[in-house]
Structure formats: C-alpha cells, structure tokens
Chains A and B, each alone.
Chain A
Amino acid sequence: GDGEAREAPLPTEQPISVGLCIKMSAISASEKVDGFTRKSMRKAQKQRKSQGSSQYRTHSTPVELSPLPQLKDAPSTEQQELFTQKLQQCCMLFDFFDSVTDLKSKEIKRATLNELVDYVSTNRGVLVESAYPEITNMITTNIFRTLPPSENPDFDPEEDEPTLEASWPHMQLVYEFLLRFLENPDFQPSIAKRYIDQKFVQQLLELFDSEDPRERDFLKTILHRIYGKFLGLRAFIRKQINNIFLRFIYETEHFNGVAELLEILGSIINGFALPLKAEHKQFLMKVLIPLHTAKGLALFHAQLAYCVVQFLEKDPTLTEPVIRGLLKFWPKTCSQKEVMFLGEIEEILDVIEPTQFKKIQEPLFKQISKCVANPHFQVAERALYFWNNEYILSLIEENIDKILPIMFCSLYRISKEHWNPTIVALVYNVLKTLMEMNCTLFDELTSSYKADRQREKKKEQERDELWKKLDELRLSNPALVQNNSHGLLRVQNNNNNNNNNSSNNINNSDTQDRDVDSAVAITTDEKEPDSMAAGESTLSAK
C-alpha cells in the first residue's frame, strides 16, 4: 500500500513491474500537466480505451475461411474427419481491434465454434483418442497469449471499468468448448493428461491476470474441473498458485485473478484430509495471512476470509497462530481495511473453541480495545458490534476478569470523549454489559482509573528522561555526533517552516473578513504548491 514501509521502486530497479513503466514516465509527465485529472474526465478516456486487442501474434494476415459442411449432415464415417478439420479451421486468429476486416471469416469461425460446442456437449462417443491433440491445439492456439499491458496504467479494480478482451466473441466460445470438453461423460483424463499437462496449467494460471472478468470467470470453472479430474496435477496447481500469490504480495502487488484463485482454493481446502499436511499449514501462514497486507484487499477479502475460516474449522489448533498473524498485519492507517479485519475476526470468533479463545484473548482484546477507541466511527462501531454476538458475549463473560481490565480504559475514556454520539451510546451499552458480568471488578477499575493514568504518565516521563540521558551520551561521543547534529538541525528548520506557515495561514483567514475588495478569496493561496490543485478546483467550481 501507499503508506506502507515498502519503497516505491524505480522501473529500472525492479524490472518485474515492467508493466508499470509507462506509468512511471507518464506520471512524471502528466504530473507536470495535471496531477489531479478529474475522475469524470479519466472515466471518459477509459470508455474509449476499453477495447484494446490483446492477441499478440506475428504480422501474418489471416487466410480467408470457407465454410465446411455441418457436422450433423455428414455421414457418421466422415464426422470425425470433419470434426478435425473444423478444429483446425478454428486455429485461425483474427484481429478484433480492426472491426471491419475479415468480417466473413470471423462469422464463419464463430458459427463453427458454436457448432463445436454443441457437438461436444450433446454427442456421445465423439472424444476418440486422436481428437485430443487436435482439441488441445485449438484451445491453446486461441487462449494462450501474453496478456497486453493494461490500457490504463493506474487501473484501480475497485473504481475503474476493466479493459475487455476484444476477441471475446471467439474466445468465449473457445472457453465454452474447453469446459464442455472437460465435462463430457466420455472425457478420459488418462489420455488428456498427455496434453493437459503442467505447461498447460501454468499458462492457464497466467491468464487469471486478465482484466476481463468474463474471462476470469471461465478460467475459474475450468481450473476447478481440471483440479478435480487430474489428480497428478493437484500438487503442481497448488504450488503455482502459491507462487502467484507470493509474487503478488512481495513483488508486483498486481494480479487481477486473486479472488478467483481464492475461490477455487476455498473448495480445495474444504477437501483437505486430516491431519493437515505441513505444506497446507505453511500455505495458510506464509501465503494466506500475508495476503491480508495487499493494497486491494477489498477485492478478495470475502474469499480470503472464507479460506482462513475453512482452515480453522479443519484444525482449531491453528487459531492462535492465525490470529497472531492477523494482529501482526493489522492495518495502521487504512480504516476500510481495519473494518474488514474486524469482520474476519468475528467470523473466526464465531467458530473458535473456548480453549483456543483463552490462548489468544489478551493480544486480541488489546487490539479490539484500540479499535473501539478509533476516531473513525466505522471502525469503532464494527468493533463494538462484537457485543451483539451471543457466542462472543458468552466467551467474554467466561473470561471477564482477563478481558475487562484490558477493555476498561478505552471504553471509559471514549464514553466521555468520542465525537460520535452513536459510538458513545454503543459504548455505554457495552460498559453496562461488562459491569453486569463482574460488578466488583468494574468498581475497582473505576476507582483506580485516575491512579492508573497517573502511573502511566509517570512512566512516560521516566522514559523521556532515560532517552535524554542516552542522547547526551551520544552527543558526547565524537564518532556519532555529526550524524546526530544534522538530524537536529533539520528538525529545527522544519519547525521554523511550520511556524511560518501557520502564522501566514492564520493571518490570511483573519484578514479575509476585513478584506472588502478581495472578490477572489483563496484560502489555500499561501500554502505550498502541493495543495494548489485543490485551490484551483474550488476556483473553477465558482
């Protein structure tokens, strides 16, 4: 994410993100032009763009197709031969970027594909051994390709319209055909595995990065069927998904098909045998939990949480490491993600065993107490809703002497301080519930509240003093002084700047009231150029 510790790599340093190269150059240039292009304008551009061709091929021009006779009209002895011819005919690729060329051939291919789909879904005995290589060849020729660079380098899957695959009229039918082929009752994995092999699956997985949701949806169903039918490919598929996720988390932060892959995994995890293999546990801890750090979590959080809960239902002893993992990656600045995390925690608590709960309650409720005190009311509200959950309530009651001391301080403070009246009302209810659970403890905590705060303050002072002494020691050490003094100087400069700014701003707002002739009152005028765009947009609004 933007605010995370990760440094923004230069394109030359991290060639893996080559897809973003134009973005880098475009940003430097377009920032010159305007860093804040209005959303509506960008939207308009997008609609125009949303039909790029993604098929990479050499510049050979397609040969015109001539229609073959219908399969259903051919005598059964010739059907197989005709089937093969039709498959070969469908290997011809067309340029859909140019909507006027090869119209006739495009239509012939479309009709043929339709016929092929129909042929493999309704007829028995058509999947003879010799057809397998022809079928897979037709499929690989049509769907396997290097995906194009995103038309929109700033593509935000939550906001923007995806670029749709231009050759979809054909590609959809090829995917449909592949699915019918796999689902045909005569389909024999033992023959097909010669063609639907690791390389095939590898290429199929790479297509999950397609921006076109229709394509990803087909891929999801197809990969699921392949996983079900080819036992020999299962471990390989899991490993490759692993790699895709790790690359997504730690290298590119970009992959369009995360949600679809997680959905498949959800059903795979469901079928894991007990006890869980070490490989699967590793997948949970080293892949699924770190996936929570992704910037676009909202796009696949539901699927991800489902996978996590599936694991915990299989093996409750994983609860503690999972919750600790989530706490480690707890969002610091993104409230929207924090709400998602709280949702996932509630899903986990719904299925938690009381013994597991005891193991994790302290760190967990320390986090929850921070959440209820969050100034963002949605975060606070989401956390406080836990107290509406009967099962969670029973767990809290059972462990009230541990949980109340952790929660009390936050709740007590925000009951007096939170700006949002709904939150304050909710907090009163929660405090009341907790008080009813252990009245004596509640009274003790109330009476010691002030003393506790003072003790904390004192500790704070002691810490400051310790560091002051340490810094003095550091300053008296010639080897380290130089470094430090630079730091100090910089801080002072910043302070000065800040002072100047604030005094100007104050003055500016002051004078505007008295300023009779300033028709154009620009409050942002004195600020740094960074904030200028805001100034301009208010102006143009007038």
Chain B
Amino acid sequence: MAGADGDDSLYPIAVLIDELRNEDVQLRLNSIKKLSTIALALGVERTRTELLPFLTDTIYDEDEVLLALAEQLGNFTMLVGGPEYVHCLLPPLESLATVEETVVRDKAVESLRKISQEHSPVDLEVHFEPLVKRLASGDWFTSRTSACGLFSVCYPRVSSTVKAEIRQHFRTLCSDDTPMVRRAAASKLGEFAKVLELDYVKSDIISLFTALASDEQDSVRLLAVEACVSIATLLPQEDLETLVMPTLRQAAEDKSWRVRYMVADKFSELQKAVGPEITKNDLVPAFQNLLKDCEAEVRAAAANKVKEFCENLPEDNREQIIMTHILPCVKELVSDTNQHVKSALASVIMGLSTILGKDNTIEHLLPLFLAQLKDECPEVRLNIISNLDCVNEVIGIRQLSQSLLPAIVELAEDAKWRVRLAIIEYMPLLAGQLGVEFFDEKLNTLCMAWLIDHVYAIREAATCNLMKLVEKFGAEWAQNTIVPKVLGMANDPNYLHRMTTLFCINVIVHCCGYPYREITTKQMLPVVLKMSNDQVANVRFNVAKSLQKIGPVLDSNALQTEVKPVLEKLASDTDMDVKYFAQEAISVLALA
C-alpha cells in the first residue's frame, strides 16, 4: 500500500489526532473530511491499530462531524488494507448507527451496506451479522431503526440457520413498541421481501405486510403501501387476489388521507405490479374514488397519474374504460376548487390525446384544453402550453390556436416575471409547431418586446430565445425579421437596451456562423464598431466582448482594418474593465 512508505517522523499520529480533536468544530470537520489523507499518511497498519480505535472512542461529537465520519468510513476499505481487513471498520460504524440524529445514522447505515459487499461470506457471518443482531436488539430505538436497513444486504450471503435468525429479528422489529422502528421496518419491507425465498415471502412477509398495513399509526400504514408494490411484483398472479388485494383495497379507502395519498402516488407502480385483470376489476373503481377524494392532496396526486394510468390499461378495452370511467372524473377535475389539483391535471391531460386518437380528442378533450387555457391560475395555463406537442401530433395545433394566442399574450404580459420567463421558454417549441407564418404574424412582436423587458432575466431569456428561433427558421429569416429590429435598438437612449443589441448580435453570429458572414460583416459589424464610442463603459466593454465573438467569422481584411483599430482604442480606455476585455479580445483574436 501507498502509505507504507509514509515518513512516520513527518506525520506523527499525535499531531494528526490533535487535528481531529481541535477545539474549533470547523477545523475538526475539515480534518475529518480529509480523514483518508490522514489514513494514507499513517499507512494501513497504524490506521487499523491506532486511528480506528481512536475514532471509535471519540464518537461523542457534533452531528456534522459524525456525518462526515460516517461517510468517510464507507470508502475506507483500501485504507485499512483491503477486503481482508474491512471488518475493522465495523466498530466505529456501529456506534454511528446508534446516534440520535437521523442523517448521521442513515449515512452510517449506507456505509455499512456498502462495506457489507466487501466482506467475504465467512467474515459476514463472523463480524457483520452479529453487529446487525446487536443493533436489532438495542435498548434505544435508534439502533433498532438502523438494523432494519441491514437485513437485506446480509441475508442472501449467509447460511440457512443465520437466515432463520435474521427473519426472526425482522419479524420482531415489525411489531416493535416504538412507531419509529415500525416505520423503519415497514419502509424496508419491500426490499427485504426481494431477497427472501418465495415460500418465506408467502409465509412471513405477507403476515407482516398485513399487520403493518393495519397499524394504528397512519405513518406506518402508508409505508406498507410502498412495500405493496414490491411484494405484488414478487408473487405469482394467482396469489395476488388472496394475499395482497384485501390489504390494498383497504388502503385505498383508509380513513387517513395520507394513506390514500400514498396509494394515489404509487398508482402506476401498483397497476403494473398487479397486472391487467385486477386493474380492470379493482383499480379502475379505486382510481375513480381517488380522483373524487374529499382531500385535495389526494385528488392532486391521482390527477398526476391520469395519463400513466390510462396508458397502462390493457389495450383491448382501454378506450372504453377511459371514456366511460375515467373521462367523467377528469371533466370534473377541470373545474376543481383547488388550483393544485387543476394544475396537476393540466400537466398530464394533453397526454390523453395520443391514447384516445383524433376524433375523441376533438370531441371530448379539446373543450377541456380550451377551458384550462382560460383558467384563472397561470400555472394551469402554463402546464397546458408546455405540453402542446402531444396534441400537435394528434390533431395539429391549429385547432387550438384561436384560444392559444390570447392565453400566450396574457402570460407574456403577466406581472410576475417568472411567469413571463416560463412562457418565453416555450416559445421555440410553439414557433416550431405553429409555423413561421403564424409566428411572424402573431408572436414576433412579443418576442421583440421581451428584449426590452425591465427585468434582466427576461431580457437574457429573450436573447436566448432569439438564438433558438434562428436555429429553427434559418439565417435568412433572421436577416429579414430579427436583425433590423435588433440593430435598431443600438440607438436606444437606455444603455441596458443598447447592451441587449450586443447580446443579440453575439447569439445571431453564433447561429448563422461562417456561411452567412455577409450579414455579420455588412450589417452587424458596423453597428458594433460604432458602439465602441458609447459613453457608458458597460456598453464599451461589451463591444470588446462581442468583437471577440464576431472575430472568428470575419475575414482577415476586416479584422485588420476595422476591428483591430477599434480594439486598440478600447485597450487604452480610461475604464479598467473596458481595457481588460479589449486586451483579452486582442489576444484571443491574435491581433497583437
């Protein structure tokens, strides 16, 4: 190992340990974060015999230090001499897995899981599994919670006797007195089921699952819903009805909205896990109920899943199920009282058009899209607009353009700049779908207006938007539509607008590139050069920056005769920053 030749006199352990013990937490934290460096300096032998015992003994520290330590130890295998010695890392990690702070404990468990893989099967039984047992029977709930995360990593690699013990420990923790431990066990139930033999899944896991799913605390019950997905995936279809479905049905109608929310949130996974038959008979009515739930949180979670659920319905009678069972609920949600519900729906509803086809979309969905485009909440409108591509494929966007335009214009002028920003980001997409004519006629003015918005982020996004439009519509379009307007702004009385001209030129040059250098040389370069006389320094140094960008597309004549003199003049400007950027441009363009 590399540390073996480390000079002991240079790095005496005492000094290093002093660093780890420093009174200042920040310094202690810094040292812990560089623990691998210390270990490297000490070499593997002394890391094992001196550093690790020290770390194990001084576990009482600030949580932040402990967190860093727990993380470091997960990557320490090579530093203690490789897999053969990896079990040396267990004592400090075991202590860390019992501390109060969840973040530290979770990190310790993560590291333990990681190094468990580096144990040989023998070491796993001799060193690792006893640790898991100690944690599982600890006095304070923290160690038992940590144990829950360790069963599944050692189970597959131990003997059948030890396996039986592990199953027993897991069972005990599932009925622990402390809800924190039951929650931890419930959250690992699915993971543990995956490593168990199928017989034990049926005998052990199902009874635990049923018990946890009817726990007195809803925080435990809702975790059982998560486990339900994994368990259902493991079982053969014929067992699902008797072993899983009673519990799932009960969860979908739980008196606590948190549990129902969880069912809604995991609905697609559940649907895949139980298969098409159960979906048709059980999940469709359950889904309808969730879409009509009395709590908005549940409705929103279900609304989010509408598209995915419909997509995954068995194809043979998908359309019929959607039209008769799902669509009526969806229609109601369009005018829900809660805006989160409406906006969740708006983010997925467009996806239904691909599933239902052209005629259904025009007849049933289009009215809903149009209603949502007029919704009072901007988020709902944005979500519709951001998913226009789905509809475009099915019925073409023209069907919507009548309502689309007012919606876009309204969002484009919204008082909140973040709304304006969001709509700008969809402009290239809209432009692509609406076509150049429609764009020139209706949207171009908006795009140019954003360039002189009073918020910088909007002007910046508008500039970026121009670039994407030019990429889409081509350089010739740019020359005719964009360039004149952009160049016109060079004479604006507001220096911020004059700078916008420069920013736009930068992106247009970038897009049009060499083949269209005519535009650059003939139209844009003269304007840029003229702006070098601007009285605002910000404009002048942006001229230098722009020239640096334009330079590569110009011919050497233009560079030498036109650009060089201007940059030289700027390089002797009175302003420090103008000088700096001019000099930078000169050196980049090799004009010196």
Contacts and interface: CB of A to CB of B under 8 A. Distances in A.
A63 B379 CA distance: 41
Q: What is the interface of chain B mostly: helix, strand, loop, or mixed? A: helix
A477 B537 contact: no
Given A22-B300, A473-B37, A149 B257 contact: yes
A149 B178 contact: no
A88 to B, nearest CB: 22
A480 B1 CA distance: 12
Contact of A25 (B41, B340, B495, B576): B340
B295 A517 contact: no
A20 B538 CA distance: 45
A111 interface: no
Nearest to B415: A540
Contacts of B140: 286
A89 B257 CA distance: 27
Given A21-B297, A514-B537, A146 B218 contact: yes
B296 interface: yes
Contact of B255 (A56, A515, A516, A535): A56
Contacts of B296: 22, 149
Given A467-B34, A473-B41, A18 B261 contact: yes
Residue of A25, A469, A511, A517 with most chain B CB atoms under a 10 A cut-off: A511
Contacts of A470: 11, 34, 37-38, 40-41
Interface stretch (A32-40, A184-192, A396-404, A442-450): A32-40
Given A26-B340, A518-B495, A247 B536 contact: no
Contacts of B103: 5-7
B373 to A, nearest CB: 16
B471 interface: no
A247 B577 contact: no
Contacts, number: 186
Interface magnitude class on chain B = 35 or more
Given A26-B340, A518-B494, A520-B494, A32 B257 contact: no
A408 to B, nearest CB: 16
A30 B383 CA distance: 12
Given A471-B37, A520-B454, A18 B222 contact: yes
Contacts of A243: 178-180
A251 interface: yes
B262 A477 contact: no
B10 A469 contact: yes
Interface stretch (A65-73, A121-129, A259-267, A524-532): A524-532
Contacts of A148: 257, 295
Interface residues of A, number: 72
Interface stretch (B60-68, B273-281, B354-362): B60-68
B84 to A, nearest CB: 17
Residue of B11, B258, B576 with most chain A CB atoms under a 10 A cut-off: B258
Contacts of A511: 536-538, 575
Contacts of A15: 187, 222-223, 226, 262
Nearest to B26: A332
Contacts of B242: none
Contacts of B382: 32-33
A18 B259 CA distance: 9
Interface in A35-53: 35
22 contacts: A5-B67, A6-B102, A22-B296, A22-B300, A29-B379, A32-B418, A33-B422, A34-B416, A56-B257, A149-B295, A149-B297, A243-B179, A243-B180, A250-B101, A250-B180, A466-B19, A503-B580, A506-B577, A511-B538, A517-B494, A518-B496, A522-B496
Given A21-B261, A22-B297, A146-B255, 7 more contacts: A18-B222, A33-B419, A328-B62, A480-B36, A480-B37, A522-B456, A539-B454
